[in-house]
Structure 1
Amino acid sequence: MSHFVWRRQKGDFAPKDVFLPLPPRRYMDTPKCLIRSPSEGPSNSDSIHKRNKAFFFFSVWRVPFMSTVMQVVEAEDVKPSQNSEAPKDFKYYSNLTGYCVAINYVIGVGILEISYAFMRAGLVLSTLMMFVSTAILIVSALFLVESQARVQALCRRRNVNEYMSDDDPNLFLLSNKKYEINEMLDVAVGKWASNAYSTIISLFMYTALLSYSTVVASSLVTLVPFPGITTEIYCNVYASQIEPSCLLSYNLYLVIFFLLVLPIAFLEISEQKILQIALTIFRFVTIFIIVITTLIALFAMPYGSLFIDSKPYSSFTDSFVPSGIPIIYATIVFAQLCHHSVPGVIQPIKNKHRIRWVFPFALFTTFLMYALVGLITSAYFGTNAFPMINLNWITYTGAGFNGQNIPVYARIISAVVVLFPIIDIVSAYPLNSVTLSSNLYSALPASVRMRDSKLIKIALRLVASIPPIILSSFIRDLGVIVQISSVFGFFITFFAPAILQLATKKKCLKEFGRHSTIYSFKFLDYDFISYIILALGIISPIVQVIVIILERLGILK
């Protein structure tokens, strides 16, 4: 009886008894279900929370005077909770646009490190590792989509205005609401998990944004002399002694980068759809150029001064190099890491029924691109591949890479490939700023989140966007910081999705008697898959720390 409430329906003139299930008491103290996100207007969750408790009290007795009492409650009736609900002017996009946004989250400067990783682990072993890793990453991304649907269902059960019966076919259908991963962990696991994730994602995202701004400024100051300052000298910002003019150019490029990305960072992901589609096309074109020009050179002439007497002019033949497994594994995982952005990507998608295909298609597409780039470029450049493969195109001549007699079209191709990381980061920086600010918002106390959301959103976007650019002026070589922060990525990619999958399945099975969603595939219902990914989330960071230590000691090279 204590889980049911009697109330009068609005508009009914004759008495009508309606029983609506209330949530079990254990859910009534979980605040995340009733808190809005930065993208929405004022929330009325406190009123609903108080009203639910009032219903809980009145449900003990069902007597005639309740009609009058409940009319008083109805007079104060409020709209359903707007927890993370998209506002009326929210801009939606298609599944294709969602696919493009996911691609832009995935494809970054990590693709330029694939060739070096292939060279370290061998062509065949690297391809196999990439295929297996991509399959695991797809599964963990689907875990997050499913968990989002289950958390929304659990939170709807708390709200009498959004009640659905246990056998309702739309029980696990995604709405236009959005719960960040730390909010889902709060609902499904507990506050400790939410706080741990908030800390880890903040450290990871700040370091990523710091590396983005550093890569842009250092690349520009090296490749594009600043007019009137560094036109006649070569700048290396990683040197122990830096020319004052080079340092000035570096900081000026940081200012230009800041002025370029900050306005974009204030746009919601759905408002960036034209930019994201355009940059997706640019990524595809650049990767196509990398593959085609390398293939032509593979049958035209050897790389640089290498002497190879037969076609194809491949300078790398190793297939299996087991010592390179940690390097290729970490490179692949972080080159395809987009899991922290899953809630933000799926919220604006209008057709929620086909969301489960967005991330599998996006990650499989990036797998094909990475495999092509890794196989072809490592086969041609071999041990001469730069850690960032785009730098090999500095000496591109049109038919090969001998650095002489460069036609105009070859200079254009060289510029596009060499500057690829810079243009890529112009879209990646705002996307990651939005993700970081959303996670920072959801970690704020409830009393702060209930205030003016526009001012809070602006403040958090500034907090997410500005500090990394300022720090880039002082920290130009990330070194150990980037390597150590990469350890946190395994928690984001494996541990958090797996523990969410297990916890939300358990809660929904207890609450609704079922847990399968329309975003699931049958094989994902087996718990042992979740436990395997959970184990990867525990073991992988430990192995990565050991590798970092061995590299720093010079034992592993």
Structure 2
Amino acid sequence: MPQRDQYPPWVGLVYIFNLIVGTGALTLPAAFAGAGWLFSTFLLIFLAFVSFVTVTFVIESMACANATIQWRRIQSHKIDESEVPLDTDSETDNTSEETAILRVNRRYRYYNVNTKVELGEIAALYLNKFGHMLFFVSLCVYLFGDLAIYTAASGKTLVNLSCKNDSDTEDFNLKCWKSYDLTKMDVYRIFVTIFALLVGPFTYFNVQKTKYLQFFTISIRWFAFLVMVTLASIRLITYGQQGYPNMINLREVPALAGSSVYSFMCHHSLPGLIAPISDKQQITKKVSFDFFLICSFYLLLCVTGSFAFEKLDVLYSLNFIYTDDSSLLMKIIGFFLAAFPLFPMSTSFPIIAITLQSNLKNFMLDQTIDRRNFFVNRLVFPTLAVVPPVVVALCTHNLKRLVEITGTYAGVIVQYVVPAILVLYARRHCIKDFGSSNHRYASPFKHFSWFLFIIVWSIICIIFVTVDFIINGV
């Protein structure tokens, strides 16, 4: 059924913008400065482009999946061909010679993105069992890593807010307070446990993010980001250049690649965001404008931070923690900026955990068993979704490594490999059924060389990070 709850295009683009620009962006400035400001600028633009290419693959795959589903319903005599709804947006497009020829074949109208078809459903339509399994495993690993990053980032944020400030915020062997024999690592594990106990239980219920809660967290996030850019700019104007990053440092490229892939991730949620858009004319161009704004914002955030601070924390917001000689206003602002990641992470953690357990159920259980076994459904799978990421966070506070692993291994597969493979098989299937895969939602990157480019780049990313792990150790 077509999506009923619709919103105008600008709302959909705002949702996509907010989905991409999350707390993952806080790991970018340190990775940007580490890899060298000049090289990082070009690499960030390049990675934004690669991510946009695979977004167009997802949109095309959605349209092909809608067409395939409609065609199979007609073939099975569940509906008559005349009952297939027109893609009304496409009828208002400027008619070209190509679309005029295609519209002679009325199957052209089957291509639409009005009905939400999740990536898992698309994978089930076009891929074999191995490909379907690869998709679910990759998505589950990515969501697992996402939860571990959120938990570790929350614990680290609380440690840096409560412990005595030190010049090296990454040294967790130092005492947290002089009067107590507790190291930062001890306190970090205490806070991780508290976070898990407070937020984790929501995973055992059918919690949904309300519109007002979403608007609240979005407002907090954007106010914080704008304040960080403003303060870094003021710092540059007042004190001059404090940071002196290299122009290029290849040893730190894996960290930047992992952070960038993680920071541009939206592909697994695109169907739910695009389907409700009321007017989908030139949707690809509109999304490209979104990516242009996001890339520009990331560059502004990274460049100001790289040159304003002598040393950048892996979690950028921690650079704004107040000092003893700060004014009251700056202490309040510093505390807010350091603490603000706790708000979106606390509200997103249950939602991501619920998404993870749903995918685990789909991958591991038969649906009839899932529905009737309360113990498995309500206790086992929520526990599987929450406990392992918390255990990982208890073992390490190294956000840099967690982001590299999540972004480069699972993230590369979910963001690059899966969309490329899905669109390749979707095109072949649609050519077989409809005689052509050309339609208004087709990606502009149609040539087979674009598929090869994405696959080769994915392999390069994985090799780069693996070599870095071998040389420097995990």
Task: Select 1:535's aligned residue among 453, 456, 465.
Answer: 456
List per-residue Cα deviations over 1:23-80 (Å, max 9, x = no partner).
xxxxxxxxxxxxxxxxxxxxxxxxxxxxxxxxxxxxxxxxxxxxxxxxxxxxxxxxxx
What's 1:294 paired with? 232
Alignment-derived partner of residue 199 in structure 2: 257
Q: Which amino acid aligns with 1:266?
A: N
Q: Which residue does 2:158 correspond to in 1?
A: 220
Q: Residue 344 of structure 1 is aligned with which of 248, 268, 272?
A: 272
Quote the residue 1:513 is aligned against.
435
Structure 2 residue aligned with 1:409:
329
Counterparts of residues 455-494 of structure 1 (less than 5 Å) = 462=382, 465-468=385-388, 471=391, 474-477=394-397, 483-485=404-406, 486-494=408-416
1:389 corresponds in structure 2 to 316
The equivalent position to 1:133 in structure 2, one of 42, 47, 60, is: 47
**What displacement does 1:153 show?**
1.0
Q: Which amino acid letter does the alignment assign opposite residue 108 of structure 1?
A: G
Match of 2:298 among 364, 370, 379: 370
Q: Which of 113, 124, 138 is the aligned partner of 1:174? A: 113
CA distance in 1, matches of 2:259, 2:393: 26
- 1:76 paired residue number: none
Q: Which residue of 2 aligns with 1:498?
A: 420
1:278 aligns with 2:210: no
Q: Per-residue deviation at 1:159?
A: 0.6
Q: How does 1:115-134 map to 2 (within 5 A)?
A: 115-134=29-48
Question: What SS class does the counterpart of residue 238 from structure 2 fall into?
Answer: coil
- The one-letter amino acid of 1:519's match is Y
Pick closer, same or farther for the CA change 1:491–1:379 going to 2, 3 Å: same
Cα deviation, residue 463, structure 1: 5.1
**Cα distance in 1 for residues equivalent to 2:273 and 2:377:** 18
Quick one: distance in 1 between partners of 2:275 and 2:81? 21
The structural deviation recorded for 1:367 is 1.2
The one-character-per-residue Cα deviations of 1:155-190 (angstroms, maximum 9, x if unpaired) are 2111124454852443111233323x2332232121
**Counterparts of 1:159 and 1:376, CA distance in 2:** 55
- How much has 1:542 moved relative to structure 2? 2.3
Q: Is the 8 A contact 2:149 2:393 kept in 1?
A: no
1:305-454 equivalent positions in 2, closer than 5 A: 312-316=240-244, 318-353=246-281, 355-356=283-284, 359-382=287-310, 384-395=311-322, 403-443=323-363, 447-448=367-368, 451=371
Take 2:159 and 2:330, find their aligned partners in 1: how far apart are those partners? 22
Residues 314 and 379 of structure 1 are in contact (CA less than 8 Å); yes or no, is this contact kept in structure 2? yes
**SS of 1:159 mapped into structure 2:** helix
Retained in 1: the 8 A contact 2:151–2:393?
A: no
The one-letter amino acid paired with 1:414 is G
Q: Where does residue 210 of structure 1 map in the other structure?
A: 148
Q: Distance in 1 between matches of 2:65 and 2:375?
A: 28
1:86-112, Cα deviation, whole Å (9 max, x unpaired): 7xxx75444344333323332233222
Whole-Å separation in 2 of the counterparts to 1:358 and 1:149: 17
Q: Deviations over 1:424-451 (max 9, x none)?
A: 3134324423543443354355553895
Task: Answer whether contact 1:433 1:464 (CA < 8 A) is retained.
Answer: no
Contact 1:108/1:425, CA 8 A, preserved across alignment: no
Structure 1 CA distance for aligned equivalents of residues 184 and 293 of structure 2: 35
CA distance in 2, matches of 1:105, 1:234: 41
Write the letter of the residue equivalent to 1:328. L
CA separation of 1:247 and 1:110: change in aligned 2, threshold 3 A: closer
Counterpart CA distance in 2 for 1:357 and 1:435 is 29
Q: Is the 8 A contact 2:108 2:439 kept in 1?
A: no
| Aligned-partner Cα distance in 1 for 2:21–2:180 | 33
Alignment coverage as a number of residue pairs: 435
Aligned to 1:153: 67
Q: Compared with structure 1, are the counterparts of its residues 356 and 452 closer, same or farther at alpha carbon in structure 2 (3 Å cutoff)?
A: farther
Distance 2:147 2:429 in 1: 36
Structure 1, unmatched stretches of 5+, are 1-81, 302-311, 396-402
Q: Does structure 2 retain, via aligned residues, the 8 Å contact 1:154–1:508?
A: yes
1:549 aligns with 2:465: no
- Structure showing greater radius of gyration is 1
Aligned-residue offset at 1:497? 0.7
Letter of the 2:193 counterpart: N
Does the 8 Å contact 2:361/2:370 carry over to 1? Answer: no
Give how far 1:375 is off.
0.6
Residue 222 and residue 391 in structure 1: after superposition, are their counterparts in 2 closer, same or farther (change >3 A)?
A: closer
Is contact 1:146-1:501 (8 Å) kept? Answer: yes
Deviation at 1:139, TM superposition (A): 1.1
Q: Please provide the CA RMSD for this pair.
A: 3.5
Query: Normalising by the residue count of structure 1, what TM-score does the alignment of the two structures yield?
Result: 0.69
- The percent of aligned pairs where both chains have the same amino acid is 20
Mapped to 2, the partners of 1:200 and 1:262 lie a distance apart of 21
Question: Counterparts of 2:154 and 2:191 in 1: how far apart (Å)?
Answer: 12
Aligned mates of 1:155, 1:444 — CA distance in 2: 25
| Paired residue type of 1:215 | A
- CA distance, structure 1, for counterparts of residue 161 and residue 243 of structure 2: 27
Distance 1:275 1:454 in 2: 29
Aligned residue type for 2:456: A
Higher RCO (C-alpha 8 Å, min separation 6): 2
Q: Distance in 2 between matches of 1:358 and 1:441?
A: 35
State how far apart, in whole Å, the 2-side matches of 1:150 and 1:113 are.
Answer: 36
1:288-309 Cα distance to aligned partner (Å, 9 max, x none): 11111111111212xxxxxxxx
Residue identity in the other structure for 1:290:
M
Amino acid at match of 2:314: P
SS at 1:318 equivalent: coil
Name the structure where helix makes up a greater proportion of residues.
2
Please tell me the residue identity of whatever aligns with 2:113. L
For each residue in 1:456-475, what CA deviation from the matched residue of structure 2 results, as whole angstroms up to 9, or x when unmatched?
98679835753356536743
